[in-house]
């Protein structure tokens, strides 16, 4: 079953604007990760936030985590055309013999030049 | 340092045929994973290997088998392909049991007619 659910499913913005994507999940987690997937390519890890953290920054990325609401958001500031991609949140939880990632369905971000 | 490599990139099979998808990583990672991605969906875990010599079922293991040949290689076998197995298959690896990022291969696009 899908653990994370991203919102919105699709987002179209102009270059220079900020993009915010949200993720909700259902069960307890150890950490939450965000990945980017360019069309026809594999996933690339962007950022990881642990369950005891509330906010994390990496370059133009800002991630927040609210474990009481079981939700996370990914903010991309000053977007560029090269940010056009699908973005997935993934919750990391113990699966018996290893930590396993469970992915949401993703948000398709289009940044128009 | 090639990271995670997958072969083949594309494959077309007829219903009932068998094939093996190959995955190799050169990062000395302990854990390896096989996912499938269907249109509009996130990734779903098929099988994983926490370490050399161990394999475990994921969310959607039916119709698949895996082999952790050595620390570098993790193969996925379809014994009797079905149209429902048409998908893009991704292999991933990570360094160890503790929670951290996964590194993904470029994917294999499989069509079963």
Give residue-wise pLDDT tens across range A78-102: 999 999 999 999 998 877 767 789 9
Residues 6+ apart with CB under 8 A from A113: A15, A81
Residues from chain A that touch B103, judged by Cβ atoms under 8 A, are 45
Residues B33, B36, B47, A8, CA torsion sign = positive
**Digitized pLDDT (tens) for each residue of chain B, 113 residues in all:** 789 999 999 999 999 999 999 999 999 999 999 999 998 778 999 999 988 889 999 999 999 999 998 999 999 999 999 999 999 999 999 987 666 799 999 999 999 99
Residue A112 — pLDDT band, cuts 50, 70, 90?
A: very high
On chain A, the residues whose CB falls within 8 A of the CB of B60 are none
CB B71 within 8 A of CB B28: yes
**In whole angstroms, how far apart are CA B112 and each of A101, B13, B30?**
27, 5, 31
Q: What percent of chain A has pLDDT over 90?
A: 81
- Chain A residue with Cα closest to B37: A105
Tell me whether residues A42 and B43 touch, CB distance under 8 A: no
What local confidence, expressed as pLDDT, does residue A27 receive? Answer: 87
């Amino acid at each position: 079953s899908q653990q994370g659910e991203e919102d919105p499913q699709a987002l179209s913005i102009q270059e220079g604007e900020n993009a915010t994507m949200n993720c909700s999940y259902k069960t307890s987690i150890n950490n939450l990760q965000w990945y980017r997937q360019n069309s026809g390519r594999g996933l690339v890890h962007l950022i990881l936030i642990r369950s005891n953290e509330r906010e994390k920054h990496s370059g133009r990325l800002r991630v927040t985590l609210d474990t009481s609401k079981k939700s996370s958001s990914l903010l991309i500031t000053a977007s560029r055309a090269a940010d056009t991609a699908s973005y997935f949140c993934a919750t990391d939880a113990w699966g018996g013999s290893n930590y396993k990632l469970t992915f949401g369905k993703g948000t398709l971000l289009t940044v128009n030049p | 340092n090639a990271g995670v490599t997958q072969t083949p990139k594309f494959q077309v099979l007829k219903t009932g045929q068998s094939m093996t998808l190959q995955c190799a990583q050169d990062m000395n990672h302990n854990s390896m994973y096989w996912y499938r991605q269907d249109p509009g969906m996130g990734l779903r875990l098929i099988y994983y290997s926490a370490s050399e010599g161990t394999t475990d079922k994921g969310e959607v293991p039916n119709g698949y088998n895996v082999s952790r040949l050595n620390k570098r290689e993790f193969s996925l076998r379809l014994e009797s392909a079905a149209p429902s197995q048409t998908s893009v298959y991704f292999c991933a690896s990570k360094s160890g049991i503790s929670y951290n990022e996964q590194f993904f291969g470029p994917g294999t696009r499989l069509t079963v007619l």
